[in-house]
Chain A
Amino acid sequence: DAKTTQPPSMDCAEGRAANLPCNHSTISGNEYVYWYRQIHSQGPQYIIHGLKNNETNEMASLIITEDRKSSTLILPHATLRDTAVYYCIVRASGSARQLTFGSGTQLTVLP
């Protein structure tokens, strides 16, 4: 699976959009981009995933560049409860491997 690069930390003001970048320049055509978050020692929580099209659900939006080498997770109206470590993970469709977590981005939402 392709490696991902994320900034180690970011801050965001409460109520504003949080935009979390992820670089996956070596991504292959059959690899999906997954986003999970972990709120202080709780189990990682699925947020969203996509292959090449932008995706939106009740939690967030995922914007994938046309060349698929990077993506951005958008939390449209961040709240204090969104403070967490956010992981961007690339996984090949059909792979027997589960998710390989990197170090992620610590997002702190400030009041």
Chain B
Amino acid sequence: EAQVTQNPRYLITVTGKKLTVTCSQNMNHEYMSWYRQDPGLGLRQIYYSMNVEVTDKGDVPEGYKVSRKEKRNFPLILESPSPNQTSLYFCASTSGTGALWKQYFGPGTRLTVT
């Protein structure tokens, strides 16, 4: 089954303790991205990657890092999490161009930083 998976689904951590949220897709998509969703602010893009070893900042990249060493994986790294990074995070991958373009989302990771 074609899908985007994220782990963990839920995470509670403390300020400053480095964490990684993994994202994997089995559709051989080149383009992947990370979003965060906060009440009243909708989904905002954090980082995106157009291919292996190619990453770029989205709208809200501060406090986050990403890497794209292989096509299927796109982990999100919080080197020193802070309470304002408490949010619901979604990974997405994109297929096709033109009329065939579609974006597929993972199930989400709910992160709480205390």
Query: Residues of A at under 8 Å CB distance from B?
Result: 32, 41-46, 49, 51, 91, 93-94, 96, 98-99, 101-103
Contact = CB atoms under 8 A, between A and B. Distances in A.
Contacts, number: 44
9 contacts: A41-B88, A41-B108, A41-B110, A43-B92, A45-B105, A94-B98, A96-B50, A101-B43, A103-B42
Contacts of A98: 31, 33, 45, 48, 92, 94, 103
Contacts of B98: 93-94
Contacts of B43: 44, 99, 101
A43 B105 contact: yes
Which secondary structure characterizes the binding site on chain B? strand
Contacts of A102: 42
Interface of B: 4, 31, 33, 42-43, 45, 48, 50, 88, 90, 92, 94, 97-99, 101-108, 110
A98 B105 CA distance: 12
Considering the complex of A and B, which 4 residue pairs feature the smallest CB-CB distances, nearest first? A43-B105, A101-B43, A44-B105, A101-B42
Given A91-B101, A102-B42, 8 more contacts: A32-B101, A43-B4, A43-B90, A43-B105, A43-B108, A94-B97, A94-B98, A98-B92
A81 B4 CA distance: 22
B102 A49 contact: yes
Contact of A99 (B4, B88, B103, B108): B103
Contacts of B106: 43
A98 B97 CA distance: 12
A96 B36 CA distance: 19
A103 B39 CA distance: 10
Contacts of B105: 43-45
Contacts of B45: 98
